[in-house]
Structure 1
Amino acid sequence: MSFPCDFHFFPYCECFMATGLKFITVDRHFAEQHYADLSAKPFFNGLVEYIISGPVTAMVWEGKNVVTTGRKIIGATNPADSAPGTIRGDYAIDIGRNVIHGSDSVESAKKEIALWFPEGIAEWRSSVHQWIYE
């Protein structure tokens, strides 16, 4: 069975498979863990405040070049530098409120998946997988 792909923010999801999805509120300690590599930056506290200000939808996507392609779909960190048609280009205005996070490398993705999905992610293959990937 395929995961229904009606996520407005991920228009290319026929090439990727959702293997993790949850809608959660994040506490301060968790947010500080997630952004630990940015703790020395002057915007760190604002970033933590932003992510704990309301619920977030955490997702894991799997597929060929998903990190690289996903970051292109997300857009530049600064929404002003993001092309129309990207998530940040269409839905964000300020760099401190750029609406979405995406892992910057496979290594970062592995760490972030372990943090956000300690229970693990779904292991499955779509019936159309063979028609999308070589």
Structure 2
Amino acid sequence: MQRTLVLLKPDAVERRLIGQLISRFEAKGLSIVAMKMLRVTPDLAKQHYAEHVEKPFYPSLESFITSAPIVAMAIDGLEAISVVREMLGATSGLKAAAGTIRGDFSSSRQMNLVHASDGPEAAKRELDLYFTADEFCDHTSVLTPFLRADDE
């Protein structure tokens, strides 16, 4: 089992896609174990995108991510990090395959609706930015036996 961070970015919130996007993760059999809507502050943006702060595109990235509320989610599942990233599709909605979130809903490189952690270390660091330990609602769903085998 893995846990990953997923952010529904300002464009997803403004376009009223929250429900449709959440339903895709649930339909896949992933578990949302924490979720909240918040405004990303410039300080939080700098922490989240620390590796990009000195790059020329950073000001527009910060402006975008702080422009409207986001929905932050902690999602659990088997190989959740790679599964979620596959569900999102290529970073640019222009290049994302049909059937992926970005392929179905985005036609932009920057307005690409969602962020997901790209590895276990990033997931830990990013989850710690958005959630405290007591905000996780760990549980085993009664549907689990219908979503995966006992030995998975």
Matching residue of 1:3: none
Matching residue of 1:60: 74
Q: 2:20 aligns with which of 1, 5, 8?
A: 8
Cα distance in 2, alignment partners of residues 111 and 65 from structure 1: 18
Unaligned runs of 5+ in 1: 1-5
Whether contact under 8 Å (1:46, 1:96) holds in the other structure is no
Matching residue of 2:141: 126
Cα offset, 1:131, TM superposition: 2.7
Cα distance in 1, alignment partners of residues 93 and 54 from structure 2: 23
Matching residue of 1:110: 124
Counterpart check, 1:20 vs 2:34 = yes
Whether contact under 8 Å (1:19, 1:61) holds in the other structure is yes
Cα offset, 1:130, TM superposition: 2.5
Task: Give identity over the alignment, percent.
Answer: 30
The residue type equivalent to 1:92 in the other structure is S
The residue type equivalent to 1:72 in the other structure is E
Q: What TM-score does the superposition give when structure 1 sets the normalisation length?
A: 0.88
Cα offset, 1:41, TM superposition: 2.3
Counterpart check, 1:43 vs 2:57 = yes
Cα offset, 1:43, TM superposition: 1.4
Cα distance in 2, alignment partners of residues 101 and 109 from structure 1: 11
The structure, 1 or 2, with the larger RCO (C-alpha pairs under 8 Å, 6+ apart) is: 2
Q: What TM-score does the superposition give when structure 2 sets the normalisation length?
A: 0.78
Provide the aligned C-alpha RMSD in A: 1.6
